[in-house]
Amino acid sequence: MKNTPEINWPQVDAIIKNALHEDIRDGDATTEALFEPDETAKAYMLAKDNGIIAGLPIAERVFKTLQEDIVWQPAVNEGGRVKPRDLIVEMSGSKRTLLTGERLALNIMQRLSGIATMASQYMAEIDGLDVKILDTRKTLPGLRVMEKYAVAVGGATNHRFGLFDGIMIKDNHIKLAGGISKAVAILRANNPKGLQIEVETSNHDEVREALAAGADIIMLDNMPPDMMREAVEIIDGKALVEASGGINLHTVRAAAETGVDFVSVGALTHSVQALDIGMYFR
């Protein structure tokens, strides 16, 4: 990705603080017994697979939370592509810092790099099409800020961050509210933030109802490509259109070619494989 997205440092710092407490509590029993505070070492991370690197600034923050003056020298840029045996970063500091922070830094970089790699693969599948790949709220609890950051590093687009910054009327909302029209009408009257209203639909009748109700975005949920294409024709530019549900790397281009504006993919975060990265000492 050409432009690295911004990191919400207050939230990320809170995650790091909690994660370090989870791992260390009252001390690293092994490392603190083996090494004195002033003993130093040099270490480096290597890629063990092909992929996109994400999380370098966050991994650096892990180590610098433990030792402010640690030396951190990345060999690749955030969002850079690597192959097995490529050098990712070199670092030097106290042995205690490097060993105590190793697992948390690797856990973060491996997961975020896996997400960025997956996002880049989806973007490659829709190359040349004017469609955005969106992430979802299917993230690990407490880690959403980092996972959505990694999606953006990989070139895809963040959808709503949570329940607070977007209105999405899903099937259960519709059932409990008494229908699409009622749900949209209620939300039109109770939308102080002026948020766009998105409605999930599963067939053409629901698409027509959502359109008549004045939905800003209409989600086509679990529709085959032919059905999506017909839905796009029905909507005819009167609302934005999102394809969603069960879309994978093999089917994403067919969905994108139906004329939708967005394709949302939960697998970007809920089914990602961590990128294999190792940390070694010189």
Task: Domain count for the chain, please give it.
Answer: 2
CA dist 116 and 43 (Å) reads 24
pLDDT over 70, % of the chain: 99
- Domain interval for residue 37: 9-124+273-281
For residues 156-172, one letter each, b for 16 or more C-beta atoms within 10 angstroms of the residue's C-beta and e for the rest, the string is bebbbeeeeebbbbeee
Domain match, 117 and 13 both: yes
Which tokens sit at 176? 């409990």
Average pLDDT over residues 124-135: 98
Q: Which residue in this structure is represented by tokens 């830094």?
A: 105
Domain match, 111 and 161 both: no
Q: What is the 3-state secondary structure (H, E, C) of the chain?
A: CCCCCCCCHHHHHHHHHHHHHHHHCCCCHHHHHHCCCCCEEEEEEEECCCEECCCHHHHHHHHHHHCCCCEEEECCCCCCEECCCCEEEEEEEEHHHHHHHHHHHHHHHHHHHHHHHHHHHHHHHCCCCCCEEECCCCCCCCCHHHHHHHHHHCCCECCCCCCCCCEEECHHHHHHHCCHHHHHHHHHHCCCCCCCEEEEECCHHHHHHHHHHCCCEEEEECCCHHHHHHHHHHHCCCCEEEEECCCCCCCHHHHHCCCCCEEECCHHHHCCCCCCEEEEEC
What is the tens place of the pLDDT at every residue in 6-25?
A: 999 999 999 999 999 999 99
Domain match, 65 and 105 both: yes
The confidence score (pLDDT) of residue 218 equals 98
The confidence score (pLDDT) of residue 135 equals 98
Domain match, 247 and 277 both: no
What is the tens place of the pLDDT at every residue in 228-244?
A: 999 999 999 999 999 99
Domain match, 259 and 277 both: no
Question: pLDDT tier at 4 (50, 70, 90 boundaries)?
Answer: confident
What is the tens place of the pLDDT at every residue in 45-86?
A: 999 999 999 999 999 999 999 999 999 999 999 999 999 999
Active site residues: 103, 138, 170, 200, 221
Question: pLDDT tier at 1 (50, 70, 90 boundaries)?
Answer: very low
What is the tens place of the pLDDT at every residue in 141-173?
A: 999 999 999 999 999 999 999 999 999 999 999
| CATH of residue 22 | 3.90.1170.20
For residue 149, tell me if it sits in a domain: no
| CATH of residue 242 | 3.20.20.70
pTM of the full structure? 0.96
Domain match, 19 and 110 both: yes
